[in-house]
């Protein structure tokens, strides 16, 4: 199954429930322009509304870049007011990824710079190919990250190192990104999508409602107006109402594999 977009490939494997979203502007190293940002937001909403989609992989077309940054020529023509709105629009799109109750993995297949690094960080997990590079080079242009980079990078790697990378615009190779905690795994590029599919498949074998509530509770820790501990306790109580909880505990007692229904 697929949906049609100008700058994205939307490929749903009905058997596994895994949707692969591919940023498809290889000639521009998959740079993010306004139209692509809007399509990412629309595709994510489509995925969240589509019951057959159970998990999502986001990647870039070609072998050079996941997303090499924003479309600088487009940005340069904006007024200050338009620039603020563009940042808000990008933040809204990436928050839709981060707040997804369906797990999202970034398959980073090359350069993830500027908006590309921000897109990867909005995903719940990141798997990098060995040739991947990460960075926020905006200060080289007299700018700063506008799609959440100043917020998510410190969350992932700590305040001090994040500030260093944001202010120096240094790029980080895949193995260094793994050491810093920016990515979860590094694999050969030829194995990248298969590894992500396997990881996502493992998660999709768990209770869907519990997976969704874990994501909600982790996000609550970072939300401005939420108490992560309160959210966790409430979700823990809600889990006890589910058929999945009854099935999971019964299967444990009976020493068999659980069959979850997401109810």
Task: Give the residues across from 28 on adjacent strands.
Answer: none
Q: What is the reported pLDDT for 228?
A: 59
Q: 6 catalytic, yes or no?
A: no
Cβ neighbour number for residue 135 with a 10 Å cutoff:
21
Which residue in the list 39, 98, 138, 216 is annotated as catalytic? 138
Tokens of 152: 């998510």
Which range has the top average pLDDT, 4-8, 76-80, 120-124, 252-256?
120-124
Q: 118 catalytic, yes or no?
A: yes
As a whole-number percent, the residues of the chain with pLDDT over 90 amount to: 73
Q: What is the reported pLDDT for 262?
A: 87
> What does the pLDDT average to over 245-255?
85
Which residue in the list 118, 216, 232, 247 is annotated as catalytic? 118
Q: Which residue has the higher pLDDT, 191 or 141?
A: 191
Q: How far apart are CA 204 and CA 192, in angstroms?
A: 18
The pTM for the full model equals: 0.89
pLDDT digits (tens, 9 = 90+) for 79-114: 988 999 899 999 999 999 999 999 999 999 999 999
pLDDT digits (tens, 9 = 90+) for 221-249: 887 666 656 766 777 777 778 898 888 88
Q: How far apart are CA 60 and CA 80, in angstroms?
A: 29
Check: CB of residue 37 under 8 Å from CB of residue 89.
yes
Asked if pLDDT for residue 142 goes beyond 90, the answer is no
Q: How far apart are CA 228 and CA 218, in angstroms?
A: 7
Q: How far apart are CA 263 and CA 253, in angstroms?
A: 20
pLDDT digits (tens, 9 = 90+) for 148-184: 999 999 999 999 999 999 999 999 999 999 999 999 9
As a whole-number percent, the residues of the chain with pLDDT over 70 amount to: 96
Asked if pLDDT for residue 61 goes beyond 90, the answer is yes
Cβ neighbour number for residue 147 with a 10 Å cutoff:
28
Across 48-52, 234-238, 249-253, least confident range = 234-238
**Beta carbons within 8 Å of 173's beta carbon, 6+ residues apart:** 132, 133
């Amino acid at each position: 199954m697929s949906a049609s977009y100008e700058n994205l490939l939307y490929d749903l494997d009905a058997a596994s429930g895994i949707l692969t979203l591919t940023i498809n502007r290889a000639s521009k190293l998959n740079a993010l322009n306004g139209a692509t940002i809007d399509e990412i937001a629309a595709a994510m909403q489509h995925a969240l509304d589509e019951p057959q989609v159970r998990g999502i992989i986001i990647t870039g077309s070609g072998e050079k870049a996941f997303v090499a940054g924003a479309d600088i020529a487009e940005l340069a023509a904006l007024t200050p007011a338009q620039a603020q709105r563009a940042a808000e629009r990008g933040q809204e799109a990436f928050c839709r990824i981060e707040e997804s109750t369906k797990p999202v993995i970034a398959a980073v297949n090359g350069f993830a710079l500027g908006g590309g690094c921000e897109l990867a960080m909005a995903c719940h997990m990141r798997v990098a190919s060995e040739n991947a590079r990460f960075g926020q080079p905006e200060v080289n242009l007299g700018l700063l990250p506008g799609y959440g980079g100043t917020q998510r990078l410190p969350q992932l790697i700590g305040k001090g190192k994040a500030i260093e990378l944001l202010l120096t615009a240094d790029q980080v190779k895949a193995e260094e990104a793994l050491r810093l905690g920016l990515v979860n795994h590094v694999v050969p590029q030829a194995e990248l999508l298969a590894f992500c599919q396997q990881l996502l498949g493992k998660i999709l074998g768990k209770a869907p409602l519990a997976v969704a509530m874990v994501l909600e509770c982790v996000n609550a820790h970072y939300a401005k107006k939420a108490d992560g501990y309160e959210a966790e306790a409430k979700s823990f109580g809600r889990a006890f109402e589910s058929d999945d909880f009854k099935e999971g505990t019964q299967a444990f007692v009976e020493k068999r594999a659980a069959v979850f229904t997401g109810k």
